[in-house]
Homo-oligomer: A and B are copies of this chain.
Amino acid sequence: MLKVNDIRFESAEHVIQEIRNMNVKGGSPFGRAAAWAYKLACDQEVFSNREELQNRLDYLSSEMLELKPTMATIYNSKNLVYALLEANIDAEVLEIQEKISKLCQKIIDVSLEAVEKLGQFGGNIIQDGETVFMHSYSSALMSVFIHAAKQGKRFTVICTESRPLRESRLAAQILQSYQISVIYITDASAWEFMPKADYIMVGADTITFDGSVANKMGTALISKLAKMCNKKVFIASEIYKIDLRTKEGYQVRLERRTIEEMIQKGDFDSLDGIEVINQFFDLTPADDIHSIICEFGVIHPSTVGEYWGKLEKFIMEAAR
């Protein structure tokens, strides 16, 4: 099974450093890294009173959020820790440290198990002889395909290359290593090959509170076309990627990246009058998504808020 190997963090400062060095990648690892930072501070450091602890946690939070200001999973870890603090307003500092440590361990464990669980549920969806259409790369998605393969299903995956970085190459290689047959096409071929697909499966970068999904550019396009010709779109993602600020109306920031990823030396003599835009993510509205495959099962996109509530309660109970 796709082994998720988090960095072996040594201390809270180490977490900050690894984030700064861009060694942490993907929404889920960031959420766990934040949990590690809080946990290691509570496990390793000594605080004479609650205020000291609070200051330390504030410092760690601001460091991490300065480096990744739009990362929903860091916010989620921070919010859980702070909710715990508030719920234990009169407790001894040592007791709080212990509780935070337990809570963060739970955050980490739950996240690591989620990819495994949703992989099983997604694997159950895939039937022998079917063809699945995917786009870009996502470890949750890989987990789904690998589970299906391990269940003995024989199926085909159509991969669009996903310009500019063509992350689907990595997906194709992983699928290849599990003897899953792959059809590899350009992004512009999505509509041409869609009739061959039984349904669509993609990952998620961020989930909004009302069930929409930010993911690699092209996901919304493919989902809209799929909807139009009555093919289901499944999103494979743990619930922890929900961006709770969207509940308050804040919009998911859809990153644009460097144009160097899109153009190469020699493509243009000059860029005078040519604006190259490397819009990296887009937002697929909940309406175009059939279900989200998460650690709780295959759920309707409109219920992500309800499941976040369950997840939050489950994690918080670890620190009672």
Interface residues of A (CB under 8 A from B): 120-125, 127, 135, 160-164, 166, 169, 172-173, 175-176, 179-193, 195, 209-211, 216-218, 220-221, 224-225, 228-230, 232, 246-251, 262-263, 267-270, 272-279, 282, 285-287, 290-291, 293, 296-303, 305-306
Contacts and interface: CB of A to CB of B under 8 A. Distances in A.
Contacts of A195: 195, 230
A182 B251 CA distance: 23
B210 A251 contact: no
A179 B273 CA distance: 7
A192 B172 contact: no
B224 A173 contact: no
The 10 tightest CB contacts between A and B, nearest first, are A188-B218, A124-B249, A191-B221, A247-B297, A300-B302, A121-B249, A187-B188, A125-B249, A210-B300, A229-B229
A197 to B, nearest CB: 10
Contact of A210 (B186, B267, B291): B291
21 contacts: A123-B249, A125-B249, A125-B251, A169-B267, A172-B268, A176-B272, A176-B273, A176-B274, A182-B273, A182-B274, A183-B274, A186-B262, A186-B278, A186-B279, A189-B217, A209-B297, A221-B225, A228-B228, A286-B300, A300-B305, A306-B306
Contact of A173 (B179, B183, B217, B269): B269
A76 to B, nearest CB: 16
Contacts of A228: 224, 228-230
A206 B237 CA distance: 26
A251 B127 contact: yes
A211 B300 contact: yes
A262 B188 CA distance: 12
A299 B262 CA distance: 36
A217 B262 CA distance: 19
Question: Which of A191, A270, A303 has the most chain B CB atoms closer than 10 A to its own CB?
Answer: A191
A191 B282 contact: yes
A270 B293 CA distance: 31
Contacts of A182: 273-275
Nearest to A179: B273
A190 to B, nearest CB: 6
Given A249-B122, A302-B302, A191 B211 contact: no
Nearest to A262: B186
A267 to B, nearest CB: 5
Given A179-B273, A251-B127, A189 B302 contact: no
Given A186-B262, A298-B246, A305 B303 contact: yes
B299 A221 contact: no
A127 B254 CA distance: 13
Contacts of A188: 135, 160, 162-163, 187-188, 216-218, 221
Contacts of A166: 267
B274 A184 contact: yes
Question: Which of A188, A247, A277 has the most chain B CB atoms closer than 10 A to its own CB?
Answer: A188
